[in-house]
Homo-oligomer: A and B are copies of this chain.
Amino acid sequence: MKMRITLLKFSSESIHISRKYLLAVIILYLGYLNSNAQDVYENYREAWLKKSMEYLPELQVKTKVPLQMVRLIDDKESYQCVKAVKISEPPEFYQSGLKSNPDDLVLDFGEHLTGHVQFTIQSNVPAHAPVQLKIKFAEVPAEMKASFESYEGSLSKAWLQEEIVTLHTMPDTVLLPNRYAFRFIKFEILASAGDMDFFVSNVKCFSTTSAGADLFNETTLKDSEFQNILEISIKTLEECMQTVFEDGPKRDRRIWVGDLKLQALANYYSFGNFDLVKRGLYLYAATAAENGLVYGTLFEKPQPHPQKHFPIDYSLLYNTVLTDYYEASKEIGTLEDLWIVAKYQVLNILPNISEKGIFTPSPEWWYFIDWNNKLEKTAALHGIIIYSLTKTLELARLLKKEQELPQLQETIEKMRKAAREKYYDAEKMLFVSGPARQVSAASQVWMILSGTVSPEEGRNLFENLKKEKQVVWPVSPYLYHYVAEAMISCGMYEDAGNLIKDYWGGMAKKGADTFWEVYDPDNDFLSPYNSYMMNSYCHAWSCTPVYFLRKYNKELFP
């Protein structure tokens, strides 16, 4: 009330001062909102957590058995130079002792599985001493052939899946203590009495998923390569759908915003499991930071809690998961519940956008974009911010909440303008990034998806990329998804189809049962963790071919 009276006292000469004053008030107001996100969220966190638990799915369990015993042989023509060759079938492979058989007992389930594992073990003579067994799991043949002992990568070696168990009684039926993601399993004796041999039998995987049935499975693509890619992408998604959308059932076994977005899209064109999307959205809201930002990733156990760091591109993409969800479900209640979270994602970054529309990330944030270490990310990040703000504006309009973020439209326009001014290289006719003016696919893609350029300009960008000698290309299926999405948004359906066939189809040709976390057609051993053993070979962000092939079916296959 007092403030209003004060304002009324300003004379007409002081309009300039009054504008500055108003700006200060807005900034203070934003600061107030920001600093009070915690207070605002506190009113909702409990309800959000409760909702996330209401959407906790029941896991469907299927019992799977190994189909063949294989020998792993070096083979230059095979993916990662290792080939699994069948040597016997059940029950034959159960009839040799672990010691007396010259081959390791490597069993192949014939498909990627995520679940718990049980086996029976018997000895040739009554057990008079314990046996120490190593049971190793692998998603791909080379991972099985490699020695985990030789691992020198950057992530915890404990991700490499093996168990060491000591058994005193024979026969015994053992349910191993963890969940595993694998196609191959190996049994090995580490220690035992000299006169004892051991016979493994009845190996079973109780495989789990929350995916349910493929609601769209009546459609079979005429092109068998595309159909194969589609099936692998559905299997990839199915394996990653557990009690949340996991990024990888082998590693990291948790929900990440970037993966969630792509899984949700693929899910809308396969299992249509809206509850699991909502579970993820509410979990992020319930575990958001005090400033209101959602963290990039969170853990379900022992109780939902975030990993406390901000990949700011992921935080902003949260808002776009909401709009994608609405587009698929037309259900507005979830958006109404979570609008406050979307709003705080924006409020948190507004102070980092200058008057001229340049986004400067805070030092406590990082940004992912892609695994390619050579990538200069500034321009791509700028594009992602615009993309997310644009989607947030759609959301605000849908909910009739534009007045809560009155500066949004203006900010988007400022940023698009700034993008052209700061990141576009008129000579190369491409967006560039960083002091070295790096040309990358990422920069073009995100400028296209942000609406900074028209579809026609977008097509030109792709054309010009082809002419450029030094282009930083993606190494992850995650960024390749956005390349395909950008192509489609420019009407380049044939290019998008070719990309899917080349990139995801490339994995299929190399024997993928599920799509991989990392795929560089020229380097089977590329790993962000300095070891291909650590890579996840069933990774959520690779699951989107089903989305493209079904959503754009008519355009891709006219």
Shortest CB distance A469–B (Å): 38
Q: Chain B: which residue is nearest A165 at the CB level?
A: B177
| Contact (Cβ within 8 A) B192 A166 | no
Shortest CB distance A121–B (Å): 12
Judged by a CB distance under 8 angstroms, whether A155 is at the interface is yes
Residues 161-213 of A contacting B (Cβ, < 8 Å): 163-166, 168-172, 177-178, 190-194, 196
Judged by a CB distance under 8 angstroms, whether A130 is at the interface is yes
Comparing A305-313, A357-365, A474-482, the segment that makes contact with chain B is: A305-313
| Contact (Cβ within 8 A) A169 B302 | yes
Judged by a CB distance under 8 angstroms, whether A127 is at the interface is yes
Cβ-neighbour of A129 out of B126, B155, B163, B193 (below 8 A): B155
Q: Chain B: which residue is nearest A148 at the CB level?
A: B191
Residues 488-532 of A contacting B (Cβ, < 8 Å): none
| Contact (Cβ within 8 A) B132 A193 | no
Cβ-neighbour of A126 out of B130, B157, B299 (below 8 A): B299
CA A126 – CA B193 in complex, angstroms? 42
How many copies of this protein are present in the complex?
A: 2
Judged by a CB distance under 8 angstroms, whether A158 is at the interface is yes
Q: Chain B: which residue is nearest A151 at the CB level?
A: B191
Cβ-neighbour of A158 out of B166, B194, B305 (below 8 A): B166
| Contact (Cβ within 8 A) A126 B305 | yes
Cβ-neighbour of A166 out of B129, B178, B307 (below 8 A): B178
* B-chain residues with CB within 8 Å of residue A159 when the two chains form the complex: 129-130
Shortest CB distance A185–B (Å): 16
| Contact (Cβ within 8 A) B132 A158 | yes
Cβ-neighbour of A156 out of B131, B165, B177 (below 8 A): B131
* B-chain residues with CB within 8 Å of residue A254 when the two chains form the complex: 128
| Contact (Cβ within 8 A) B154 A194 | yes
Cβ-neighbour of A192 out of B125, B156, B305 (below 8 A): B156
Judged by a CB distance under 8 angstroms, whether A330 is at the interface is no
Interface string of A221-256 (1 = CB under 8 A from B): 000000000000000000000000000000011100
Given A154-B194, A155-B193, A191-B157, also A128-B166 (CB < 8 A): no
Residues 48-89 of A contacting B (Cβ, < 8 Å): none
Knowing that A129-B159, A169-B299 touch, tell me 4 more A-B residue pairs with CB under 8 angstroms: A126-B308, A128-B254, A130-B159, A158-B192
A-B contact pairs, 9 of them (CB 8 A): A126-B305, A126-B306, A155-B193, A156-B192, A156-B193, A156-B194, A157-B190, A158-B192, A172-B302
